[in-house]
Each structure stands twice: as C-alpha cells, then as structure tokens.
C-alpha cells in the first residue's frame, strides 16, 4: 500500500511522517519546490517538538517528497484552507485544485481523504461537483472522506498518536478501510460518521474553544474594572466538577480558533448571536492590552511608546507561526491610530516581520522600559532574571510576582 499526502505544511508533514513511521510507503507532494527541496535534503520547514526525531524514524521506512501528484489509490489532502478576511468565507480553491490534481492521475476507485478544515457544506458545494463534472461516479470511481485533523501545534506528535479522530464518509465500508489505515499510528478512538457531520463537528470544536476563551476574556475585563484577580477566580470556579473555564489572554490567534467560528456566523447569521459576540470579545482583547499599556505608561510618566516592547510575535507559546497573532493585531491597531515605534521581539522569529523588531533579546531589553509579555514562550520563563528593573505587563499570567501588571 502507498499513501500520497498532498500539502506538506503544519498538518500534512507530521501526518505523512507518521504514516511512513507506521510502515506505509508515503509520497509527500507539495507544489512548492523550496519545501520539497528542503525536505528531500533532510531540512525541516518549521519547528515542532519531536518533529526531527519523527522525520528520522520516517526516513528509515519509505518516504519521498515531490512536486508531482502520482497515481495511487489513497490520497490525504492537507492543503491550506485560507479564509477571505473581507467576506469571512472559506477560500476553497486550494482544495478544489488539489482534488483536480488527484483526479487527473488517480486509480479507479481511489479514496480522497480531506484533512484540511473546511466550512460545513464545502464538500457538497465545491468538491462533489468537480467529480461529477468529469463524469465520474461518487462511491464507485472515487470515494470522498473527510477526516479533519485535530492536533494542536506545540504537541502535534503526541496528539497525532493519542487523540481520537473522526472519519466522515457517506460509504461506511470505506470508513472502515480508512479507519484501519489511521489505526497504523493512531491509538485514540476513531469514530465513523457522515461527511456533513465530520465537517460540522470540526468547526464546532474550535468554536466551542473560542466561546470558552471569550468567556474568560470577558471575566478578565470585569475583574480589571473592580481590581479582582481573574486567575484566582477562574482557578476556584474550575474546582467545581462541572466547570472548566479556559484562560484569558491578549487575544485569540492562529489559523483555526479565530477563523472557524466565522464559517457558522457567515452561514447562519440569524442564529449565531453567542458565537459572534464571542468573536467580538476575543477580537477586542488587543485593544484591552493597548488600554492597559496606556494606563501603565501614565502611571509611570512614560510618554514615549518606543519605550514599550512587545515580547512575542507568534500566535501562542513555543511555535513559530504568526498567523492572526494578537501582537500583529496590536500593531495593526496602533498603525490605524498612526502610533508607531513600539518595539517587538520573538525568539522564534529570526526574519524581519515588522518594524522595530529585534533579533537579540538583550538588545531589545536595553531599548525599553516596559515589557509586555504577549506570548508565554519557555524562553521568557527561563530568562526572567534578565527582566530586573523593567516594568512588566504579563498578559499570559506566567509570572507570579505581585508587582507585575496583569491583563
């Protein structure tokens, strides 16, 4: 058996490596020559805990990387599903194009497993028509499966192995076949359901998390108003056996949690008051942080925003992904008000992404008086001693000292 994994990004690459490690021959396809070149030479294209080791284990078996789709009977598609910021709708073009590339070369009866997160209804609306257009019979010439990924950046390798999974298909026999393939590395429970439920449940999972984080963020604002300790209050509330509130923070970033709820709001505008409000609360957090920065500057008589440094550019701790990150959101907001000069540093980002970005931590510290911890990287946790003498706004609650400002 051979599996062709299309899309070698954050999801496709670790998944391809896992299949290879489990003993299946894998062909990793990506149209990006640089990615394919790097991977063929043994260079990983992003940082993730345990990815190096997995790569070496996968190589022992058989994995190859190429820019060309190849004939075969099993395809896993983990291509990007960007969303269009203006309309808040999913852009299905990468998936459509990957499906067509597969259809050009695949064997009769091939299984196409879509792992990319897609808006509910995408398969009916955009994917099935591509197949029908070619005069192919669904469920006979081609089988469609949606097996949405669930792994969390920062702990992907562990979660690939132990998370439960969903296999969505309208043909239960195919479901069983695909389940066996995933069981090669996945020790979690694997549930088989229909295509539409698989699409919907994935988006629901991320929306649940967004709403829960919004609740925590709203509590943080309420508590700030009357000087209560939101972290203590959440800790106590969570001791109740049926309460599990997430943590407040400077905003919700990443390509998933801050995006997927929009698919529901877009398709069901009259029924999504709660989901929309949650999004708005989370989107307001960068403004809340700016307000806190302003209060602290006033308290210390600091007038110049260039004395402030944002620590962290990524959307969360110990990853190198900056998509929709709260720090980028803050910089955008500041630019709207023509306020420039705030300094930025992230140990995970070497290249220059924004203005006034430093690549040396000590150099960064020398230029600022207020440090705003936007991301709780392990790096800052092990370098607290270097922050002596700085005014600290800790939006991630990673420092316990009383003199530190919180959200």
Q: In angstroms, what is the minimal distance from the CB of 172 to ligand SAJ? A: 25
- Tell me which of 106, 186, 223, 256 is the catalytic residue: 256
Q: Does 262 bind ligand SAJ (CB under 6 A)?
A: no
Angle between helices 273-299 and 326-336 (to 10 degrees): 70
Exactly one of 95, 112, 151, 349 binds ligand SAJ (CB under 6 A); which one? Answer: 151
Residue 204, classified by CB atoms within 10 Å of its CB into exposed (0-12), middle (13-18) or buried (19+), is middle
Q: Does 174 bind ligand SAJ (CB under 6 A)?
A: no
Q: In angstroms, what is the minimal distance from the CB of 67 to ligand SAJ? A: 25
Hey, what are 1's tokens?
């058996």
Q: Does 18 bind ligand SAJ (CB under 6 A)?
A: no
Q: In angstroms, what is the minimal distance from the CB of 210 to ligand SAJ? A: 8
User: Which range of residues in 15-23, 167-175, 204-212, 223-231 is near ligand SAJ by CB under 6 A?
Assistant: 204-212
Q: Does 315 bind ligand SAJ (CB under 6 A)?
A: yes
Residue with tokens 């290879």: 20
Q: In angstroms, what is the minimal distance from the CB of 218 to ligand SAJ? A: 12
- Tell me which of 21, 106, 186, 202 is the catalytic residue: 202
25 flagged as catalytic: no
Given a contact cutoff of 8 angstroms between Cβ atoms, the answer to whether 358 and 343 are in contact is yes
Q: For residues 25 and 209, which CB has a smaller minimum distance to ligand SAJ in the complex? A: 209
Q: Does 252 bind ligand SAJ (CB under 6 A)?
A: yes
Q: Which secondary structure element, helix H or strand E, spans residue 287, and what is its range?
A: helix 273-299
Q: In angstroms, what is the minimal distance from the CB of 285 to ligand SAJ? A: 8
Where on the phi/psi map is residue 139: left (φ > 0), alpha (ψ -120 to 50), or beta?
A: left
- Whole-number Å distance between alpha carbons of 324 and 41: 31
Residues 42-101 that bind ligand SAJ (CB under 6 A): none
Residue 202, classified by CB atoms within 10 Å of its CB into exposed (0-12), middle (13-18) or buried (19+), is buried
- Residue 357 has what DSSP assignment? E
- Whole-number Å distance between alpha carbons of 50 and 90: 31
Q: Does 110 bind ligand SAJ (CB under 6 A)?
A: no
Q: Does 398 bind ligand SAJ (CB under 6 A)?
A: no
Exactly one of 116, 122, 169, 206 binds ligand SAJ (CB under 6 A); which one? Answer: 206
Hey, what are 90's tokens?
């999913």
Q: Does 149 bind ligand SAJ (CB under 6 A)?
A: yes
Q: Where are the alpha helices (DSSP H) in 226-272?
A: 230-237, 260-267
Exactly one of 130, 205, 267, 320 binds ligand SAJ (CB under 6 A); which one? Answer: 205
Q: In angstroms, what is the minimal distance from the CB of 8 to ligand SAJ? A: 16
| Residue ranges of E strands in 223-378 | 308-311, 343-345, 357-358, 370-373
As a dihedral over the C-alpha atoms of residue 158, residue 159, residue 162, residue 168, rounded to 10 degrees, the angle is -150
Q: For residues 315 and 345, which CB has a smaller minimum distance to ligand SAJ in the complex? A: 315
Q: For residues 30 and 317, which CB has a smaller minimum distance to ligand SAJ in the complex? A: 317
Q: Where are the alpha helices (DSSP H) in 32-139?
A: 33-40, 51-60, 93-105, 122, 128-133
343 flagged as catalytic: no
Residues 213-242 that bind ligand SAJ (CB under 6 A): 213
Q: For residues 38 and 152, which CB has a smaller minimum distance to ligand SAJ in the complex? A: 152
370-373 vs 391-394, strand pairing mode: parallel
Given a contact cutoff of 8 angstroms between Cβ atoms, the answer to whether 54 and 43 are in contact is no
Report the 10 Å Cβ neighbour count for 383. 15
Q: In angstroms, what is the minimal distance from the CB of 211 to ligand SAJ? A: 11
Instruction: Kindly list the residues in this chain that would bind ligand SAJ in the complex (CB under 6 A).
Output: 117, 149-153, 205-206, 209, 213, 246-247, 249, 252-254, 256-257, 315-316
Catalytic positions, written as ranges: 202, 256
């Amino acid at each position: 058996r051979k599996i062709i994994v299309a899309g070698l990004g954050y999801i496709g690459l670790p998944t391809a490596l896992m299949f290879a490690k489990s003993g299946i021959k894998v062909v990793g396809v990506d149209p990006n020559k640089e990615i394919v070149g790097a991977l063929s030479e043994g260079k990983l294209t992003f940082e993730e805990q345990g990815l190096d080791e997995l790569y070496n284990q996968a190589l022992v078996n058989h994995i190859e990387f190429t820019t060309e789709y190849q004939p075969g009977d099993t395809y896993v598609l983990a291509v990007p599903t960007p969303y269009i910021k203006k309309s808040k709708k999913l852009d299905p073009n990468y998936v459509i194009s990957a499906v067509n590339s597969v259809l050009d070369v695949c064997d009769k009866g091939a299984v196409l497993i879509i792992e990319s997160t897609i808006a509910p209804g995408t398969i009916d609306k955009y994917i099935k028509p591509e197949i029908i257009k070619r005069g192919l019979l669904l469920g006979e010439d081609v089988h469609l499966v949606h097996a949405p990924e669930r792994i969390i950046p920062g702990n992907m390798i562990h979660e690939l192995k132990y998370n439960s999974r969903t296999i969505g298909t309208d043909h239960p026999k195919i479901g069983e076949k695909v389940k066996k393939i995933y069981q090669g590395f996945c020790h979690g429970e694997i549930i088989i359901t229909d295509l539409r439920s698989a699409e919907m449940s994935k988006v629901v999972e991320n929306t649940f998390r967004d709403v829960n984080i919004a609740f925590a963020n709203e509590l943080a604002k309420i508590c700030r108003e009357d000087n209560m300790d939101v972290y203590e209050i959440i800790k106590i509330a969570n001791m109740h056996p049926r309460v599990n509130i997430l943590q407040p923070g400077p905003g919700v970033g990443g390509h998933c949690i801050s995006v997927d709820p929009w698919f529901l709001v877009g398709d069901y505008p009259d029924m999504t008051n709660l989901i929309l409000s949650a999004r708005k609360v989370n989107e307001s957090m960068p403004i809340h942080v700016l307000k806190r920065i302003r209060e602290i500057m006033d308290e210390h008589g600091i007038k110049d925003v260039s004395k402030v440094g944002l620590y962290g550019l990524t959307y969360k701790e110990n990853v190198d992904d900056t998509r929709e990150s709260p720090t980028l959101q803050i910089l955008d907001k500041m630019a709207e008000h023509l306020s420039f000069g705030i300094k930025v540093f992230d140990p995970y980002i070497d290249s220059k992404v924004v203005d006034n970005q430093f690549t040396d931590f000590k150099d960064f510290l020398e230029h600022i008086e207020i440090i705003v911890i936007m991301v709780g990287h392990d790096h800052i946790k092990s370098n607290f001693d270097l922050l002596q003498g700085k005014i600290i706004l800790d939006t991630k609650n990673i420092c316990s000292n009383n003199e530190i400002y919180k959200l």
